[in-house]
Amino acid sequence: MGHDPIADSVLELLKASDPDASELLRQEAARQATTLELIASENHVSPAVMHAMGTCLTNKYAEGYPGARYYGGCTYHDSVERLAQERASALFGCKFANVQPHSGAQANAATFLALLSPGDTFAALVLADGGHLSHGLKVNMSGKWFNPVFYPLHYDESHERFEQIDYDAVRDVCLKHKPKLLMCGYSAYPRTIDFERFRAIADEVGALLMADIAHIAGLVAAGVHPSPFPHAHVVTTTTHKTLRGPRGGMIMTNDEEIAKKINRAVFPGMQGGPLMHVILAKAVAYGEALKPEFKTYQQQVVKNAQALAAALTSHGYRITSGGTDNHLMLVDLRPRSADLTGADAELWLELAGIITNKNGIPQDPRPPRVTSGLRLGTPALTSRGLKESEMERVAGWIDRVLSAAGDEATTNAVRGEVQAFCADFPMPA
């Protein structure tokens, strides 16, 4: 596991007790250390965050909330959860934070349970345009139990905001359907979100405004992207991605009555016992994010994304919406090759040691399992110390692999170069 003596000792301990599991862990650690992680929703946590998850807090049930548990022996668990809550509130400038959700999708589901009744209408961006499955996909509980209506992106190519949020369309959809909840915040949207404008629309139609900042939470925390507060009534997020914490979720608000509803919806409405070892790791990550160097990191994440987008553009790829303001970009592969699909690109790049995910682009003619695009992000590479000049090298490798259309010799050559390159940018330790 690299140069982390604690992780190395854990691996040795596991090897003695369970060689099969130990070998799988060793292989995965080696894979991460020798590949370039470009999936926008992934990151590399610090050793402190990682080790906080592997602690004795995993032994304890702590159903309930600090000061009101359903089990004894929770004195220190109360203190851990309060620490996470206090740091989250300081980080995002909010009054209330529920740190118990196990994921962003569960945070969204709990918010729906708290604020909506089955059959209620809410408005969101359609998944194909960059939304999330928990924002009303018909096979998800958000689409099965509630009534989603969708607003589109701009598609007038003469318009300066082509493939960006169409706020006039948002207003039109809300005026027509009168949703009880208006959602903003996305999983594949590269531009700045105008939370104040969303709140004005929500107020006009009598809706609550919910911001899902799972992807941009780290940017928001560092002041690199505008905050949803004080505009949003409720804010959900994951705690990994740009926030660089453990895998988990969180819900925040400034409204005490909404906070009470959220708490009841999370427990006992959605979950039983919280994962206290993960909540400790959340507290550690929030503490890291409160330090000045975290802002420098997030600024570099955006610089790297813009450098990568520019470099890919120079190689003939199209970046949807014309660029990026945050940590991610959607790459339209078709201008480079009409036959190139996201599925092929993902597979070939992984063989070359570059980890990406296929992703539909706005108005994509191909199905979700094939796609015409890739979603790329820079949080993980930035955590390893890469900067703008390295982004140009990464773009060059991507183009070499895709131009060769999976040619084995080219793929193997790039794999060797990537592996050697990774040795100069070790995992956080």
* 0.85 surpassed by pTM: yes
Tell me what pLDDT residue 172 has. 97
**Residues ≥6 apart with Cβ < 8 Å to 102:** 248, 249, 271, 275, 278
Q: Which domains does the chain have, with CATH numbers?
A: 56-289 (3.40.640.10), 294-422 (3.90.1150.10)
Report how far residue 277's alpha carbon sits from residue 282's, in angstroms, rounded to the nearest whole number. Answer: 9
Phi/psi for 301 (5° steps) reads -55, -45
Tell me what pLDDT residue 429 has. 78
For residue 5, name the pLDDT band (cuts at 50, 70, 90): low
Report how far residue 175's alpha carbon sits from residue 165's, in angstroms, rounded to the nearest whole number. Answer: 17
Report how far residue 50's alpha carbon sits from residue 281's, in angstroms, rounded to the nearest whole number. Answer: 7
For residue 3, name the pLDDT band (cuts at 50, 70, 90): low
| pLDDT digits 0-9 by tens, 138-189 | 999 998 999 999 999 998 877 667 999 999 999 999 999 999 999 999 999 9
Concerning whether 241 is annotated as a catalytic residue, the answer is yes
Q: Is the pLDDT of residue 93 over 70?
A: yes
Q: What is the mean pLDDT of residues 30-58?
A: 96
Exactly one of 129, 212, 364, 390 is catalytic; name it: 212
Percent of the chain with pLDDT over 70: 98
Exactly one of 236, 237, 238, 371 is catalytic; name it: 238
Report how far residue 283's alpha carbon sits from residue 86's, in angstroms, rounded to the nearest whole number. Answer: 9
Report how far residue 119's alpha carbon sits from residue 288's, in angstroms, rounded to the nearest whole number. Answer: 41
Report how far residue 290's alpha carbon sits from residue 300's, in angstroms, rounded to the nearest whole number. Answer: 17
Exactly one of 247, 295, 366, 393 is catalytic; name it: 247
Query: Is cis: bond before 230, omega within 30 of 0?
Result: yes
Exactly one of 15, 26, 61, 417 is catalytic; name it: 61
Tell me what pLDDT residue 155 has. 87
Tell me what pLDDT residue 55 has. 95
| pLDDT digits 0-9 by tens, 330-388 | 999 999 999 999 999 999 999 999 999 999 999 999 999 999 999 999 999 999 999 99
Concerning whether 144 is annotated as a catalytic residue, the answer is no
**Residues ≥6 apart with Cβ < 8 Å to 47:** 4, 6, 7, 428, 429
Report how far residue 26's alpha carbon sits from residue 12's, in angstroms, rounded to the nearest whole number. Answer: 10
Percent of the chain with pLDDT over 90: 92
Report how far residue 238's alpha carbon sits from residue 155's, in angstroms, rounded to the nearest whole number. Answer: 30
What's the distance, Cα to Cα, between the start and end of the chain in Å? 10
Q: Average pLDDT of the chain?
A: 95
- Burial class (CB within 10 angstroms; exposed 0-12, middle 13-18, buried 19+) of 388: middle
Q: Please report where in the chains the tokens 């009409």 appear, as a residue.
A: 338
For residue 11, name the pLDDT band (cuts at 50, 70, 90): confident
Q: Is the pLDDT of residue 1 over 50?
A: no
Q: Are 342 and 359 in contact (CB under 8 A)?
A: yes
- Token pair of 328 as six digits: 């991610």
Q: How many beta carbons lie within 10 A of that of residue 421, not counting itself?
A: 17
- Token pair of 55 as six digits: 């602690």
**Nearest C-alpha neighbor of 244 from the set 302, 304, 298:** 298
For residue 71, name the pLDDT band (cuts at 50, 70, 90): very high
Concerning whether 18 is annotated as a catalytic residue, the answer is no
**Per this entry, what is the length of the chain?**
429
Report how far residue 194's alpha carbon sits from residue 181's, in angstroms, rounded to the nearest whole number. Answer: 17
Concerning whether 408 is annotated as a catalytic residue, the answer is no
| pLDDT digits 0-9 by tens, 109-136 | 999 999 999 999 999 998 888 989 899 8
Exactly one of 42, 63, 194, 392 is catalytic; name it: 63
Q: Is the pLDDT of residue 2 over 50?
A: no
Q: What is the mean pLDDT of residues 8-34?
A: 92
For residue 281, name the pLDDT band (cuts at 50, 70, 90): very high
Q: Is the pLDDT of residue 28 over 90?
A: yes
For residue 10, name the pLDDT band (cuts at 50, 70, 90): confident
For residue 192, name the pLDDT band (cuts at 50, 70, 90): very high
Concerning whether 70 is annotated as a catalytic residue, the answer is no
Exactly one of 241, 244, 261, 375 is catalytic; name it: 241
Concerning whether 151 is annotated as a catalytic residue, the answer is no
**Residues ≥6 apart with Cβ < 8 Å to 200:** none
Q: What is the 3-state secondary structure (H, E, C) of the chain?
A: CCCCHHHHHHHHHHHHHCHHHHHHHHHHHHHHHHCEECCCCCCCCCHHHHHHHCCHHHHCCCCEECCEECCCCCHHHHHHHHHHHHHHHHHHCCCEEECCCCCHHHHHHHHHHHHCCCCCEEEEECHHHCCCHHHCCCCCHHHHCCEEEEECECCCCCCCCCCCECHHHHHHHHHHHCCCEEEECCCCCCCCCCHHHHHHHHHHHCCEEEEECCCCHHHHHCCCCCCCCCCCCEEEEECCHHHCCCCCEEEEECCHHHHHHHHHHHHHHHCCCCCHHHHHHHHHHHHHHCCHHHHHHHHHHHHHHHHHHHHHHHCCCEEHHHCCCCCEEEEECCCCCCCCCHHHHHHHHHHCCEECEEECCCCCCCCCCCCCEEEEECHHHHHCCCCHHHHHHHHHHHHHHHHCCCCHHHHHHHHHHHHHHHCCCCCCC
